[in-house]
C-alpha cells in the first residue's frame, strides 16, 4: 500500500510539472511584431470567433501559361469587408504539385501607390505555429496564426510573401481586377518596393478572416462567375457587386458586422469543370475558369469562417460555353441546371446556411457567342424556376435589376460594359441595391 501511495504522489508531481511546462511560453510560440518585440500571437483559437472578411477562389493555370517566381516578393492588396482587431490568413497550394516554400510573410496597411507602399507602423510578421517561414504541402491550404493588427471595415490589407525557391505560380485567382506587384529579393518588410512586374492576379492567397468584430458577426458568400468576380469593372476601385453589398452592410448599424466573401470565378460553371476542345484557343485560358460549383462548394462556401448566407449567381456559362470554350457534348438542359441548384441548396442546408438564388442576367448580342434563341428560352425557364419553385430560401432578381424594360433579353444600355454580358460599375451598383437587406437581419 505504501508503494501505491508513493507512486500516486510521484504521478501527481509529474502531472503538476507537465502542466507548468505546458503553460509556460516557449520561444517557438512567441511571435514578433515589426519592432522585434516578442509577444503571444493570440489567445487560443478556440476562444475566438472568426469572421471571413475577404476571400477568393483558387484555380489552376493552363499547362503552357505558368508564371515562375524565384527569390522574389509578391506584394498583393485585398479589400476587407468587415474590420477586426486581429487577422488570420489562409494560404493555398491546392493546385500545386510540389511543396510551396514561403520564406516569410508580412501584412500591413497600405500607404499609397495602389498597395506598393505600406505604412511601417502597421507592419507585422505572419507566423505559422510560431514560425515565420512555412512549407505548404502540395494540394493543401494552410491557415496562419492570428496577428494582432487593428483593421477598419472597408480598409485594404497588403500581404507580402517571399518565395526563395523556384516556384511555379500554379495556384492563383487569375482575374483580380486589382494590380499587385512582384519585386526582387526579400523585401516583405520594406515600406516601398521597386516592382519588376505588375500582375492582375492573386497568388497563393485565398482568404482573410478577422476576430474582434461586432457582436453576432457573420459572413455572406457570393458564389458565382465573372459577373460576381468583377469582370469589366474599374480595376483597383472595388466596384464588384459583393464589394458594394458590403458597403451597404457597413452603412446599416444592424448589419455592420456582416462580411462579404467573393467566391466568383470568371468563366465558372455550375455543372462542369473546364474542358477546352483539343486544338482550340480555349486551351490557353480555360483552366482559369475553376472547378464546377457543385465540386468546389465545400471548399469555397462551407469552409468559410463565419459563413451564414450564400448568394448563388451561376448558369450563364453552362448555357454559353458548350460550342465555344467547351465541347457541345456538355450542353445542359434547364432541368439539369435546376438539379445542380438543388444540390447546392441541400448541402447549404446541411450546414445551417441560408441560400439565395439569383436570376441569370440578360446577354442578347453578347460578344462571346453565347446568345441564341434557344439559350434565351432556357434562361427564361431557369429564371422562372428560381422565382417560383420555392427551393431557395429567397430570390434575388438581378435579371429584373439589369434588363432593358423595352427589350428584356438585353442589358439596359446604362448598365452595359460594352460586351452585352457583363455589367459596368453602374450595373454592379444596381445589383447590390437590388439585394433585400431584410434577408440578413
Angle in degrees, CA 154, 159, 164, rounded to 5? 170
Longest dimension (CA), the chain: 96
SS3 state at 29:
helix
pLDDT digits 0-9 by tens, 225-260: 999 999 999 999 999 999 999 999 999 999 999 999
- CB distance 304 to 221 below 8 Å: yes
**pLDDT tens across the length of the chain (441 residues):** 333 333 334 433 333 333 333 333 333 333 333 333 333 344 444 458 999 999 999 999 999 888 999 999 999 999 999 999 999 999 999 999 999 999 999 999 999 888 999 999 999 999 999 999 999 999 999 999 999 999 999 999 999 999 999 999 999 999 999 999 999 999 999 999 999 999 999 999 999 999 986 777 999 999 999 999 999 999 999 999 999 999 999 999 999 999 999 999 999 999 999 999 999 999 999 999 999 999 999 999 999 999 999 999 999 999 999 999 999 999 999 999 999 999 999 999 999 999 999 999 999 999 999 999 999 999 999 999 999 999 999 999 999 999 999 999 999 999 999 999 999 999 999 999 999 999 999
Cross-strand partners of 142 = 91
Q: Concatenated DSSP letters for 120-182?
A: GGG-EE--BTTBS-EEEPTTEEEEPPPEEEEE-TT-EEEEEEEE-S-EE--SEES--SS-EEE
b vs e for 7-40, b when ≥16 Cβ sit within 10 Å of the residue's Cβ?
A: eeeeeeeeeeeeeeeeeeeeeeeebeeeeeeeee
- CB distance 167 to 93 below 8 Å: no
- CB distance 328 to 296 below 8 Å: no
Q: Give the span between the Cα atoms of 127 and 104, in whole angstroms.
A: 8
**Nine-digit cell string for 4:** 501505491
- CB distance 176 to 200 below 8 Å: yes
Question: Please, what are the domains in the chain?
Answer: 1-213 (no CATH), 214-441 (3.40.50.1110)
Q: Give the span between the Cα atoms of 247 and 256, in whole angstroms.
A: 9
- CB distance 362 to 326 below 8 Å: no
Amino acid at each position: 500500500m505504501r508503494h501505491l501511495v508513493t507512486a500516486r504522489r510521484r504521478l501527481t508531481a509529474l502531472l503538476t510539472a507537465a502542466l507548468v511546462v505546458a503553460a509556460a511560453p516557449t520561444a517557438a510560440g512567441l511571435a514578433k511584431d515589426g519592432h522585434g518585440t516578442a509577444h503571444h500571437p493570440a489567445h487560443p483559437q478556440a476562444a475566438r470567433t472568426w469572421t471571413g472578411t475577404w476571400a477568393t477562389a483558387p484555380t489552376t493555370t493552363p499547362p503552357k501559361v505558368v508564371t515562375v517566381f524565384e527569390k522574389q516578393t509578391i506584394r498583393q492588396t485585398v479589400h476587407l469587408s468587415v474590420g477586426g482587431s486581429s487577422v488570420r490568413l489562409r494560404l493555398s497550394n491546392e493546385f500545386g504539385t510540389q511543396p510551396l516554400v514561403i520564406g516569410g510573410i508580412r501584412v500591413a496597411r497600405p500607404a499609397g501607390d495602389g498597395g506598393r507602399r505600406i505604412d511601417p507602423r502597421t507592419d507585422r510578421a505572419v507566423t505559422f505555429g510560431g514560425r515565420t517561414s512555412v512549407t505548404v504541402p502540395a494540394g493543401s491550404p494552410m491557415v496562419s496564426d492570428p496577428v494582432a493588427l487593428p483593421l477598419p471595415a472597408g480598409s485594404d490589407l497588403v500581404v507580402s510573401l517571399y518565395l526563395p525557391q523556384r516556384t511555379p505560380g500554379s495556384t492563383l485567382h487569375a482575374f483580380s481586377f486589382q494590380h499587385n506587384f512582384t519585386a526582387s529579393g526579400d523585401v516583405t518588410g520594406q515600406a516601398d518596393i521597386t516592382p519588376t512586374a505588375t500582375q492582375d492576379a492573386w497568388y497563393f492567397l485565398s482568404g482573410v478572416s478577422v476576430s474582434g468584430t461586432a457582436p453576432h458577426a457573420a459572413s455572406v458568400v457570393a458564389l458565382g462567375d465573372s459577373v460576381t468576380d468583377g469582370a469589366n469593372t474599374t480595376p483597383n476601385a472595388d466596384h464588384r457587386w459583393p464589394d458594394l453589398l458590403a458597403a451597404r452592410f457597413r452603412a446599416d448599424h444592424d448589419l455592420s458586422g456582416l462580411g462579404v466573401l467573393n467566391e466568383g470565378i470568371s468563366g465558372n460553371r455550375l455543372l462542369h469543370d473546364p474542358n477546352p476542345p483539343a486544338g482550340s484557343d480555349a486551351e490557353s485560358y480555360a483552366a482559369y475558369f475553376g472547378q464546377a460549383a457543385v465540386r468546389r462548394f465545400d471548399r469555397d462556401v462551407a469552409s468559410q469562417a463565419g459563413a451564414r448566407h450564400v448568394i448563388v449567381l451561376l448558369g450563364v456559362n453552362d448555357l454559353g460555353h458548350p460550342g465555344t470554350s467547351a465541347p457541345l457534348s456538355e450542353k445542359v438542359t434547364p432541368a439539369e441546371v435546376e438539379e445542380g441548384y438543388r444540390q447546392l441548396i441541400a448541402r447549404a442546408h446541411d450546414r445551417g446556411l441560408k441560400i439565395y438564388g439569383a436570376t441569370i442576367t440578360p446577354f442578347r448580342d453578347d460578344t462571346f457567342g453565347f446568345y441564341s434563341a434557344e439559350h434565351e428560352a432556357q434562361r427564361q425557364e431557369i429564371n422562372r424556376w428560381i422565382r417560383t419553385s420555392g427551393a431557395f430560401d429567397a430570390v434575388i432578381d438581378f435579371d429584373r435589376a439589369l434588363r432593358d424594360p423595352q427589350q428584356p433579353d438585353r442589358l439596359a444600355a446604362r448598365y452595359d460594359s460594352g460586351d452585352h454580358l457583363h455589367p459596368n460599375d453602374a450595373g454592379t451598383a444596381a445589383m447590390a441595391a437590388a439585394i433585400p437587406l431584410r434577408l440578413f437581419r
